[in-house]
Structure formats: C-alpha cells, structure tokens
Chain A
Amino acid sequence: MKSQKKPASPGYRLYELLSSMRFAIGLLTILSIASVIGTVLKQNEPYPNYAFEFGQFWFKAFEYLGLYDVYHSAWFLTILAFLVISTTLCIVRNGPGFLRDMKGFREKAAEGSLKAMKHSRELAVSLDEAQAVALIQQRGMRYKRSQRDDGSIVLAAKKGSGSKLGYFFAHIAMVVICIGGLMDGNLPLKIGELTGSIVPETRELPQGQIPAQSRLGANNLSFRGSVTVVENKSADVIFMNSGKGYLVQELPFIVTLKKFHVDYYSNGMPKLFASDIVVTDKASGKETPATVKVNHPLIVDGVAIYQASFGDGGSPLELKAWNLAQPQSAASEIKGVSLNSQPLRVNGQDYQLEFGDLRVFNIENMGKREADGKTLQQRMHDVREVKQDTKNLKNVGPSITYKLRDSHGQAREFHHYMAPMEQEGALYQIAGVRSEVAQPFQYLRIPLDDELKIDSFMRLQAALKNPALYDEIARRTTAKAMQGAAISPAMEKQFGDSVKWILSRFGEGGFVALEKFLDDKVPADKRQAIAQTYIKILQGAVIDVMAVAQEKAGLKPWTQDEKHYRFLLDSLVTVSAFNDYSAPLYLELQGFDQVQSSGLQMTRSPGKNLVYLGSLMLVIGIILMFYVREVRLWLVLRAGSVRVAMSSNRHNRDLDEDFDKIVGALSPRAGEV
C-alpha cells in the first residue's frame, strides 16, 4: 500500500509497519533462522547432559536463552505471536479493498484508464449489445452493463474472482493454524511455572508421593506425556518432562496392560509392536479393551493412546551361580527379578546384586558389509540382482545384565547371553564384563560341552585351580611324554615338576602370569623358545586335567578327538581371560518368565481439528491463488467502433493469448482504427 499523504500518527505508523509485507517477510526469515537452532541442538534432553556437553558457563547461557526448548521459549512464541498479528493486520488492511474488488465490475472505468491498459485496442467494428454479451458469456464471464454520458455502452466482465478469495483462505488459514497450535502448546503450563502454581518435581519419588504442585488435574485441556506400564499392571497418570524435572498428569481413566507383543520379519527386522490394553473409565467404570499398535492409536475420552516404546517389566529369573573364588564348591541356584536388586552373600562377603534389563530378543548384525572385497564384476552382478536385504540380522537370544556391588559401593557390570552362540564352527556361551558404564563390555566366550553346557568348562577350570590334583596330572602327563619318548627317563622328575609349576602358575594368573615370569626371569633371547615349551606342556597337560576332573566327578572320560581338543584349547584361553573377569560369581541365566512393559504416550490436543481446518483452508487458498486467474474484460460499444480492454492479476502469456483470441474473434468484421 502506498503511504498516506496526511501526517501519520505513531499508532498508525505502527499499524502500517506490522501489516506490511517487509515486516512479514522479515518475520518469516527470523522464524526460519530460529527454527534451525532447535534442529542442530538436541531438544529437551535431561539438563545434566547439556551441562556435561557445554560446560557450566555456556550451559547457563544457553539455558537463559531457552535453547534447550527453543520452540516453547518465550522469545520464539513472541515471534509466532507477531506473525499472527502481522497476518491478521494484513487481512484487516487489505481485506476490505479486496472484497470491494471481488464484488465490483469496475463498469465505471474511465475511457482514459481503459486506453492506458497494456491490453487495449480500439477496433473499427460495429458490434451490437447482444453479440457482445454472447461473446462474454461464451467465455464463462459475468458482466455488468453501464451507459456513459456520451451514449456508449460499457460491458464490464470478469471471471476468476476466486483468486482473491484464495488470499483470504490462505491468510486466515495461517491464523487458524497458529491458534490451534497455541491451544495444544504448553503455554498454560509455562504461565503456571512462572507464577509458581506449578513446580516440576526433580526428585525420583513413587508416583503417589509426588506433591500436588507437580500434579495436573484430569480436566487439563491439552497435554502430552508418557508412562511405562508393566504387563498386568495399571497406570492412571502420565509423566511429562518439564525443564529440569517432570510433572504428573492425572488421567480420567485407568490403563491396564494385558500383554505386549513384538513380531519380527524373517530377516530379524521388527514387524509389529502392539499392546493389548484395557481402559477403565474412572467415573463410569466402563471398560474398553483394545490393541494399540504403532500407527494405530486408541482414542478414549479425547485422549489418544499411542504405542511409543517397550522394554522389560521386571521378569522373574532363574540363575545358576558358579563360585569363581572357590571353584571346588558346587554351583547353587539363585532366583531374582530383572530391574530389581537383592542382597547376596558370597564367601563371607556382602554384595548387592542389581539386575538390569532382561532382553529376550537380541537382534545382532552378524554379516560383514557385502561389498567389501568384491570385484567390480561381482558388484555389477549384485546390482542387477533383486533380493532381500542381506544385513544378516540374527536373533542371538536372551541376555541379562546385572551389577554386583560390594560393600564399598564398587560395582562391576555383567552382560550374559543365555543361548549358545556359534563362532568359527564351535558353540560358546558369551559373557561380557565392564567396570565403568562408559566402557564397552569385554566379552569372553566359554566353550560348551557335548550337552551344550558350561559345566565341563567349569569342572576343568576348577581342576586347573586345584593344587591337590597337580600331582596326579603331572604323573599322567609325564607318563604320556615318556611313552612318546619326548623326554628321557632322567628328565622324568624334572619334567613332572615343570608341569606342576606351569599348572600352578597358570591356575593363579593365566597366560599373563607365565608371560610375566618369562619377562622377569628369562633373558630376552630365550623367551620365545621357552614360551613355546610352556605352551606345549600346557596343551598336553590340559588333556589330563580334563581326564582327572572327569574322574573326580565320577564321569566318563572324554574321547580324544579334534572337537574335544579344540574345546580344551579354547578353555585355556577362557580360563586365562577369566582372571580379568574379577568377580566372585559367574551367574548363568537358566530360565525366565518374561514380563514386558510397554511405553504408552498419551495426548489430548483439542487444537488438532482447528489445525486441520486451517490446513484445508490453506490448500484451498493456495489453489485459488495460483490456479484461478482473475481476468477482466471491458467492451465499450460505440457506433462503428469497439474498445476492447483486458486486465489480469498476473501479466503473463495467458493474458496475451486471451487478448489475441478476443481481438481475433472480432477482427474478421473490421480493421483497426
């Protein structure tokens, strides 16, 4: 709009600024840039994460600017508010004119202004009014007739007024969408927090003990939060993150989780997450059973319930505890519940056993990247092939994590798999350990015996660490060596002592202990040879260790074959590695009774329909604005001549064509004046 001539008051100038295009474009630009911040900086993380990432100074600075929740910060909402104001004022300012324009035909247009139009021509043809009206109507245009003082008749025609309507639709839509969004936003919460009537809770408390100032009533109009429900348990509140803490939102109903389902495709990718729930209305007691799936929420009482996550819900576990400090003692049974902790007394020491997640499915990517090490030709072939994804995802079966915390509060964390895992053709039980949460787990693999159990390994380990058996083992190993004429009779005693010494050294500290001895006591140039000898003796002796262990347990001796020999060699590695396991116990997961939990997200968003309405208006508005062309046509009928003038809201080739057509339609009858 052109500025007015009269001196403008400050109020009017503000109105002009706010409703102006440049202000709106400026806002759009600022809004875009501000929006980027929230996509670069992860939003709504727990505050300690930010403090850790940025350091105290920047953490405080960013917190002050509200960068951890940009889209709900006061300044961002202010920009949005200005956008709404600007759009509204734009409608107020331009609307009346547009409306007049839509209604009017401009039949009073002066001859001069018609003549000045870019598409305007005076044709020397006499056209009677009926012909002119036919010409107009043929084109689907509406018209208005007026007569000038000089007697000439003006037929002012137009079509495509919807284009202007599009302006109203699109701009009102923006306001409607913003209002809808505002209704669903957390503005009331923010105000509540500012005035102190709502205080986020920062402590971890049982739900029932959370004070009223952190609770929101079930009549709250709009909310979005989540809750974890364990199978066969119920929830009647949800939790919402709020700055440094959280708030509790009461629900008008109780949700009970009956069962949680997970399904997988044959390649190991997840196929279905679903919760069978029953929703019981608090007031009427009416029960609604339903299954909530990803993409298929349940809507009850205006609250939509979504499948958001899942996990372990605290499953009863059966474990076998192998005493590592006293390997001779028998294994015992322990019962526990995942996600729970219990005291445990081992060899006179008190520990706290803290179970973590029981994970029944562990989908691991077992394959290497396919393209590695292939020739171009193979790749060309692969590329033409139509096949399913070969990531080689595999379910490696259940696993449990637990921490064993001693009386000083020191803990080590363990990650044990239950099912046998195949590696290089043999089966193992895999167990991981770490002393700090930040570290990755160090895994050891325990070879499994013919019954797919770790019992034989444990027996072997116990025997290796039992000095009382060394004499018998050394005797057998020596005898075997004599038989094979590997040593002379004179060496018998010395060899037997060596076997015993190696066994005790290995039993105490594994390969590391032997290596340390070599480093300390043996000249560097001889280490290699002696190490070889030690390993040879150990590899020979381990057969006898197993035989003695079997006899002692009253079991049949093993047949000597390659598979068993590999078992024994693997066992040596694992026994050695167990020295870094540093735990009094090895807990073997024997069985469980899975109890799952489901993370349900619940929202009430009354503004949703308003947003959808606004969206629909926006689309209609855009279509009208861009695809309906407003065209105006004036025919001024005079005796012996006609003035044809056309205008459009867009000056483009279409108007040129239209004008030429109309002139063409009239031209056969006349030449130009």
Chain B
Amino acid sequence: MELLMQQPFYKRLNLGDWLFALFIAVVTGYTFSLYGSRMDIYEDLILLGSGAGIVALGWFWGNWRWFFPLAGAMSLLAIQLYDHNLARAGESFGLKYLLSSQSSFMWMCTLFFLATAVYWAGLLSRSALLNRIASGLTWAAAAFALAGLFTRWYESYLIAPDVGRIPVSNLYEVFILFCLITALMYLYYEAKFAARQLGAFVLLVISAAVGFILWYTFDRQAHTIQPLIPALQSWWMKIHVPANFVGYGAFALSAMLGVAQLLARRGILTDKLPKAEVIDEMMYKAISVGFLFFTIATILGAMWAADAWGGYWSWDPKETWALIVWLNYAAWLHVRLVKGWRGEPLAWWAVIGLLVTTFAFIGVNMFLSGLHSYGSL
C-alpha cells in the first residue's frame, strides 16, 4: 500500500470500483432504512464507517469485492433459514449441514486442512494448478469463517436478546478470527507477489490453530455461546480484538515466511520456492502491517483499560507481554530499516518472534494470572 501513488487515487478507480462502492452504498442505505429508526447517532456513524471501510478495502484489494458479498450472502441466507428460531439449526438441512455457525466452522476446519495438503502437493510437484486449487480452498475456508462469525453473531441474539454479542469475546472465537485474518492476509500477499508456493508454509500455522479449535470444541465444548461478563461489555472490544488479531495474524504469517526463507537459503526446496529476496520482502511487509495494527490494538487496549480497570496501563501480564511483543518487532524493524539487515538473521528473528507472540496470545492466559483471565482455557 502506498499512500502517494503516481496519480491521485480517485483517478485510478475503474468502473468495477465504482460499481462496488455503489453496491455497498445501496446495501448500507437499505440497512439504514430497515433499522435506522432504532439506531442512535453512534450507531449511525458506525454503520456509515463500516460501509466506507468495506468500500475502501474493496478499492484497495480487488478480491474483497466478491469475497465480502459472498460471505455476507451466506450469512444472510443462514439468517433467512433460521427465521427467528434457534431450533431450526437442527431442522433445516441448509443450516444443519452447511450454514449454521458451527457447521460453517467445521467446514472451515476441513477446508483449511485440505488446502494445506494441496498446497504441499502443489509445492512438491511444482504444479501451478494444484496451487491454484489450494488457493481456492483457502478462499472457501475463509468465506466459511467470515460467514460463520456473522451467523454466530445473529445466533447469540436468538439465544436471548441479552446474550447477543459480537463473536470475538472468547478464546474459541478469536482462534477462528485468527485463522480468517491470517488466511486473508496471506491470500493478499500471495496474489501480490505471485508466490502461491508459500501457502504450504503459511497454512501450517493455520492448520495448527484449526487443530486447537477442534480439540477445544470436542474436548472442552468451547463452542457454546456465553453472554458477556460486565468487564467485556464495551465498545472497545469490537475494535481492540480484531485489530490485535491483524497483528497476531501478520506476525504468524511473517514467521512462516521466515521458515520458508530459511529453507530457501539453505538449499532445501530452493528450486521450488520463490526467490529468497521475494520472501524476505513479503516478510517485511507482513511485519510492518502487523506492527502498525498491533500498535493500534495496544493503544485501543490502553484506552479500554482506562475505562474498565481505572488506568491505561497497569502492567497486567497481558499488557506487559503485548509491550514485549511490540518491543521485539520495533527492534526488528529498526535493524532492518536503519542497519539494513536482510536475510537469515531477520528470518530467524521472525520465527522466534512467533514464539514470543504465541506466548503473549495464549501462554499468558494459560500460565499467568491477571485481568485478561476471561480468555483462559
């Protein structure tokens, strides 16, 4: 993303861009006509902002123009099938086997596993076709993830109006968010750098997360929908958590690219992978995006903490580990940009960075006590 392009950006917009904007504007307007009378000024602004955000993302990234409407349509269909009755989840064929949030998530898990296998087959056999299929599977998995999250949001309101809340409030839900965001970011870079071979590596980390989701579901029954405890009843959550997961997703992505780069530089799979320099650049891009969003997320977290815990910074274990992650990548970026480091040391550093990030993400909840305990296993 370059803010200063060759021409002012509006001159570069084509018909497709404008049609997409028009489509989203119509949908936003229709939504407003349906619910506007019950919305307060903040909600009006949020609706407007969401519409603008979706358009901006669509202008920035062409694939978003079909992906978002597809996921939206899937969840709208699910809502249609539910017909205000939660019990329909077990009765309607479409919901039971395809579109209820749990079915969507199970499809997502299956498709991610499949995509991983096909990416590897594609990498090893140097088959562009297999890689394209794997890409398609990843897209499908991501669509099920996003649609499933939307549907789960609706389902929570069906359970009871006061139970309804955005599905980013426990470890189960954020793991799905993690899979979704990591997959989407990868798909963006894959297209931008024409580097489909790297899916084999990136999908590994997603598959690990999917494995966790499955264990969490089958063994711990974590997929049940719980209402929000008072500490989480805040607007900040809706932006703090997703922003954080853009960060986590980007760091996970960069670590897997780091692995690929290390292999490529050591003569393993070198002839099958993109050039090490290309992977290096992708890694840098991923970390810079992740760093930006992680910074924003941490600041949002501080502002939320100021509302909820009485101080913007309490040296709570989660906060402290967020700081450690931030310092880690700040240092990474410094040595790259100022000292001009490239290649192997930075790749190793990105891989180690994932360990630090993972500890901040899950380890803190498992091993340390603190104010973030609602994310515990």
| Residues of chain B with a CB closer than 8 A to A269's CB | 226-227, 229
Per-residue interface assignment for chain B, residues 265 to 306, with 1 indicating a CB less than 8 Å from any chain A CB and 0 otherwise: 000000000000000010000001001100110010011001
Per the CB 8 Å criterion, the residue count for chain A at the interface is: 77
Indicate if A131 sits at the interface (CB-CB under 8 A). Answer: no
- Closest A residue by C-beta to B307: A295
> Provided the pairs A28-B327, A271-B227, A371-B218 are in contact, do residues A383 and B162 lie with their beta carbons within 8 angstroms?
no
Contact B102–A384 (Cβ < 8 Å): yes
Contact A388–B226 (Cβ < 8 Å): yes
Indicate if B28 sits at the interface (CB-CB under 8 A). Answer: no
A514: shortest Cβ distance to chain B, in Å?
Answer: 46
> Provided the pairs A618-B299, A622-B291, A652-B281 are in contact, do residues A40 and B368 lie with their beta carbons within 8 angstroms?
yes
| Residues of chain A with a CB closer than 8 A to B231's CB | 294-295
B277: shortest Cβ distance to chain A, in Å?
Answer: 9
Bound-state CA distance A294–B337 (Å) is 43
Bound-state CA distance A382–B281 (Å) is 45
A69: shortest Cβ distance to chain B, in Å?
Answer: 9
- Closest A residue by C-beta to B222: A389
Bound-state CA distance A596–B96 (Å) is 47
Contact A383–B217 (Cβ < 8 Å): yes
Indicate if B6 sits at the interface (CB-CB under 8 A). Answer: yes
Contact-residue bracket for chain B: 35 or more
Indicate if B84 sits at the interface (CB-CB under 8 A). Answer: no
Per-residue interface assignment for chain B, residues 310 to 332, with 1 indicating a CB less than 8 Å from any chain A CB and 0 otherwise: 11110101001101100110110
Indicate if B219 sits at the interface (CB-CB under 8 A). Answer: yes
> Provided the pairs A39-B364, A265-B227, A370-B221 are in contact, do residues A386 and B233 lie with their beta carbons within 8 angstroms?
no
| Residues of chain B with a CB closer than 8 A to A272's CB | 230
Indicate if B62 sits at the interface (CB-CB under 8 A). Answer: no
Bound-state CA distance A426–B52 (Å) is 61
Contact A389–B226 (Cβ < 8 Å): yes
Contact B292–A39 (Cβ < 8 Å): no
| Residues of chain B with a CB closer than 8 A to A370's CB | 221
Indicate if A43 sits at the interface (CB-CB under 8 A). Answer: yes
- Closest B residue by C-beta to A611: B312
| Residues of chain B with a CB closer than 8 A to A38's CB | 315, 317, 320
Indicate if A160 sits at the interface (CB-CB under 8 A). Answer: yes
- Closest A residue by C-beta to B160: A266
| Residues of chain A with a CB closer than 8 A to B103's CB | 384
Bound-state CA distance A661–B219 (Å) is 57
Bound-state CA distance A131–B358 (Å) is 55
Contact A371–B8 (Cβ < 8 Å): no
> Provided the pairs A29-B331, A32-B324 are in contact, do residues A390 and B307 lie with their beta carbons within 8 angstroms?
no
> Provided the pairs A21-B338, A383-B106, A619-B296 are in contact, do residues A42 and B230 lie with their beta carbons within 8 angstroms?
no
Selecting from A49-57, A317-325, A486-494, A625-633, the interface stretch reads A625-633
Indicate if B131 sits at the interface (CB-CB under 8 A). Answer: no
B112: shortest Cβ distance to chain A, in Å?
Answer: 16
Contact A626–B288 (Cβ < 8 Å): yes
| Residues of chain B with a CB closer than 8 A to A266's CB | 160
| Residues of chain B with a CB closer than 8 A to A60's CB | none
In residues 87-122 of chain A, which contact B (Cβ within 8 Å)?
none
Bound-state CA distance A272–B227 (Å) is 11
Contact B295–A385 (Cβ < 8 Å): no
Contact B163–A388 (Cβ < 8 Å): yes
Indicate if A335 sits at the interface (CB-CB under 8 A). Answer: no
Contact A626–B309 (Cβ < 8 Å): no
| Residues of chain A with a CB closer than 8 A to B327's CB | 28-29, 31-32
Selecting from A148-156, A347-355, A565-573, A601-609, the interface stretch reads A601-609
Bound-state CA distance A70–B100 (Å) is 48
B169: shortest Cβ distance to chain A, in Å?
Answer: 12
> Provided the pairs A25-B334, A295-B234, A371-B218 are in contact, do residues A35 and B320 lie with their beta carbons within 8 angstroms?
yes
A625: shortest Cβ distance to chain B, in Å?
Answer: 8
| Residues of chain B with a CB closer than 8 A to A160's CB | 4
Contact B334–A21 (Cβ < 8 Å): yes
| Residues of chain A with a CB closer than 8 A to B368's CB | 39-40
| Residues of chain A with a CB closer than 8 A to B2's CB | 627-629, 654
- Closest B residue by C-beta to A141: B4
Contact A181–B225 (Cβ < 8 Å): no
A78: shortest Cβ distance to chain B, in Å?
Answer: 17
A39, A382, A650: the one contacting B321 at CB < 8 Å is A39
In residues 256-284 of chain A, which contact B (Cβ within 8 Å)?
265-267, 269-273
- Closest A residue by C-beta to B315: A71
> Provided the pairs A304-B310, A379-B218 are in contact, do residues A385 and B102 lie with their beta carbons within 8 angstroms?
yes
Indicate if B47 sits at the interface (CB-CB under 8 A). Answer: no
> Provided the pairs A25-B335, A619-B295 are in contact, do residues A386 and B311 lie with their beta carbons within 8 angstroms?
no
B237: shortest Cβ distance to chain A, in Å?
Answer: 9
> Provided the pairs A24-B334, A271-B230 are in contact, do residues A384 and B96 lie with their beta carbons within 8 angstroms?
yes
Indicate if B101 sits at the interface (CB-CB under 8 A). Answer: yes
B117: shortest Cβ distance to chain A, in Å?
Answer: 22
In residues 214-270 of chain A, which contact B (Cβ within 8 Å)?
224, 265-267, 269-270
Bound-state CA distance A35–B230 (Å) is 29
Indicate if B25 sits at the interface (CB-CB under 8 A). Answer: no
A31, A32, A386, A608: the one contacting B225 at CB < 8 Å is A386
Contact B226–A628 (Cβ < 8 Å): no
Indicate if A501 sits at the interface (CB-CB under 8 A). Answer: no
Contact B330–A28 (Cβ < 8 Å): yes
In residues 121-141 of chain A, which contact B (Cβ within 8 Å)?
138-140
Contact B310–A388 (Cβ < 8 Å): no
- Closest A residue by C-beta to B158: A386
Contact B292–A603 (Cβ < 8 Å): no
Indicate if B34 sits at the interface (CB-CB under 8 A). Answer: no
Indicate if A521 sits at the interface (CB-CB under 8 A). Answer: no
In residues 614-657 of chain A, which contact B (Cβ within 8 Å)?
615, 618-619, 622-623, 625-629, 650, 652-654
Indicate if A81 sits at the interface (CB-CB under 8 A). Answer: no
Indicate if B223 sits at the interface (CB-CB under 8 A). Answer: yes
| Residues of chain A with a CB closer than 8 A to B163's CB | 265, 388
Contact A271–B308 (Cβ < 8 Å): no
| Residues of chain B with a CB closer than 8 A to A611's CB | 302, 312-313
Contact B303–A612 (Cβ < 8 Å): yes
Contact A384–B162 (Cβ < 8 Å): no
- Closest A residue by C-beta to B236: A295
Contact A306–B310 (Cβ < 8 Å): yes
Indicate if B15 sits at the interface (CB-CB under 8 A). Answer: no
> Provided the pairs A388-B163, A654-B2 are in contact, do residues A28 and B331 lie with their beta carbons within 8 angstroms?
yes
Indicate if B1 sits at the interface (CB-CB under 8 A). Answer: yes
Per-residue interface assignment for chain A, residues 344 to 365, with 1 indicating a CB less than 8 Å from any chain B CB and 0 otherwise: 0000000000000000000000
> Provided the pairs A35-B320, A140-B7 are in contact, do residues A608 and B224 lie with their beta carbons within 8 angstroms?
no
Contact A388–B334 (Cβ < 8 Å): no
Indicate if A387 sits at the interface (CB-CB under 8 A). Answer: yes
| Residues of chain A with a CB closer than 8 A to B162's CB | 265, 271
Bound-state CA distance A388–B227 (Å) is 8
16 contacts between A and B (CB under 8 A): A25-B335, A32-B323, A32-B328, A38-B320, A39-B370, A273-B230, A304-B306, A306-B310, A370-B221, A384-B102, A386-B225, A387-B159, A389-B225, A611-B312, A618-B299, A622-B291
Task: With A32-B323, A384-B103 given, name 16 new contacts (CB 8 A).
Answer: A32-B327, A38-B317, A39-B364, A70-B315, A265-B160, A265-B227, A295-B307, A369-B221, A384-B102, A385-B90, A386-B155, A387-B159, A389-B225, A390-B224, A601-B310, A622-B295
Shortest 4 CB-CB contacts between residues of A and residues of B: A294-B230, A39-B317, A389-B224, A389-B226
Binding site for A on B (CB under 8 A): 1-8, 86, 89-90, 96, 100-103, 106, 152, 155, 159-160, 162-163, 217-221, 223-227, 229-231, 233-234, 281, 288, 291-292, 295-296, 299, 302-303, 306-313, 315, 317, 320-321, 323-324, 327-328, 330-331, 334-335, 337-339, 364, 368-370
Binding site for B on A (CB under 8 A): 21, 24-25, 28-29, 31-32, 35-36, 38-40, 42-43, 70-71, 138-140, 159-160, 162, 181, 184, 224, 265-267, 269-273, 293-297, 304, 306, 308, 369-371, 379, 382-390, 601-603, 605, 608, 611-612, 615, 618-619, 622-623, 625-629, 650, 652-654, 658, 661
